[in-house]
Amino acid sequence: MSISAAAVTKLYGEQKALDNVSFEVRTGEIVGFLGPNGAGKSTMMKIITGYIPPSSGTVSVNGLDVETGLPEIRRQIGYLPENNPLYPEMYIREYLEFVASLYKPETPVRDLVSRIIKVTGLVPEQKKKIGSLSKGYRQRVGLAQALVHNPAVLILDEPTTGLDPNQIVEIRNLITEAGREKTVLLSTHIMQEVEAICDRVIIIDKGVIVADEAKSDIYSVVKRKGQLIEVEFDREISGELAEKLGSLGTVKKLNEKVLLLEAAGEQDIRPLVFSFAVNNNLTVLSLQKKETNLEEVFRLLTNG
């Protein structure tokens, strides 16, 4: 197990930012840590990287306990903090050499930095000051400082937030590339990010893990939660009729003739909707099972 969090709770004063959080990230996985703002993503990442201690619970990285093994763990983790804090007055190479030297590596710092400047596509900009770079290039510098010591584990806190669409694609490609030989935990509030990059997704909401699934299995979480059906009848549905239909699930009126039905359980309720129509002299003009994309999964699980 590359990262293991066991019953981690974090209190900020009275507030519980993390509530008994447990999960594991296996070696080689790229895991999306997905949740709305304030869910506790950054807090968890700061705990994994040893920047703040948990109030209770334990975290280990590559088998080393974060509480006791921190210096060694720092060498094995690359961390891109939220908002990518950098020194705008420093030159790219100067900054990366400074960061690399902190790890006291065996390989000469200059070589490490030259390599990572190539990997992250910074060659054309390498003589510039960080402050003069575009946001996309600054993010590359952030990734470069996380990767420069060739860590086995990467912790990336919202790596594409604030970038334009082209920059997003470029940064995602870099992460995918780096992820081929590393274990990656990446936080995001963007569903497409998980679709694009990750193997697994852990969804967190208000400090609690609400889903932990392989990306391909996340849709079954919603099936377990229920199904969403949009049905159009040939005439207006009275309040009384809508109430009757309510025995099948939660009814929401989209307009006079169109209803949205949210039903719990796995049984397909479409035949029941047809029977309902027949019994009440209604004709079903259309009946659609709403596709559940990750966006909807997220909304259902986080009430966001």
Q: Which residues bind ligand ADP (CB under 6 A)?
A: 12, 15, 17, 35, 37-43
Q: How far is the CB of 16 from Mg ion (least distance, A)?
A: 16
* Alpha-carbon span 132 to 57, nearest angstrom: 42
Which of ligand ADP, Mg ion, none does residue 39 bind to, with CB < 5 to 8 Å depending on kind? ligand ADP
- The structure tokens listed for 94 are 């100067």
Least gap, CB of 32 to ligand ADP (angstroms): 13
The item of Mg ion, ligand ADP, none sharing an interface with residue 12, based on CB under 5 to 8 Å by kind, is ligand ADP
For the bound state, the minimum distance from the C-beta of residue 5 to Mg ion, rounded and expressed in Å, comes to 16
Shortest separation between residue 41's beta carbon and Mg ion, angstroms: 5
Residue closer to ligand ADP, measured from CB, 128 or 189:
189
Lookup: tokens for 141: 């510098």
Non-local CB neighbours of 13 within 8 Å, separated by 6+ positions: none
Residue number, 179 or 207, with CB nearest to ligand ADP: 207
Report how far residue 152's alpha carbon sits from residue 244's, in angstroms, rounded to the nearest whole number.
58
The count of other CB atoms within 10 Å of the CB of residue 232 is: 16
Could you say which of Mg ion, ligand ADP, none residue 28 binds, taking C-beta under 5 to 8 angstroms by partner kind?
A: none
Ranked by CB distance to Mg ion, the top (closest) residue is: 42
The distance in angstroms from the start CA to the end CA of the chain is: 31
Evaluate whether 151 touches 78 at the Cβ level (below 8 Å): yes
Closer residue to ligand ADP in complex, CB, 10/149: 10
CA 32, chain centre distance (Å): 4
The angle subtended at Cα 225 by Cα 222 and Cα 229, nearest 5°, is 80
Measured from the CB atom, is 125 or 157 closer to ligand ADP?
157
* 62 interface partner picked from ligand ADP, Mg ion, none, CB below 5 to 8 A per type: none
Exposed/middle/buried for residue 63 (C-beta within 10 Å: 0-12, 13-18, 19+): exposed
Question: How far apart, in whole angstroms, are the C-alpha atoms of residue 94 and residue 285?
Answer: 68
How many other C-beta atoms can be found within 10 angstroms of the C-beta atom of residue 62? 18
- What residues line the site for Mg ion (CB under 5 A)? 41-42, 82
Residue 149 or 200: which CB sits closer to ligand ADP? 200
Q: Which is nearer to Mg ion, 46 or 172 (CB)?
A: 46
Cα–Cα distance, 53 to 43 (Å, whole number): 10
Cβ 115 to Mg ion, closest distance in Å? 30
CB of 82 to Mg ion, least distance (A): 5
Judged by beta carbon distances under 5 to 8 A according to partner kind, the member of Mg ion, ligand ADP, none in contact with residue 201 is none
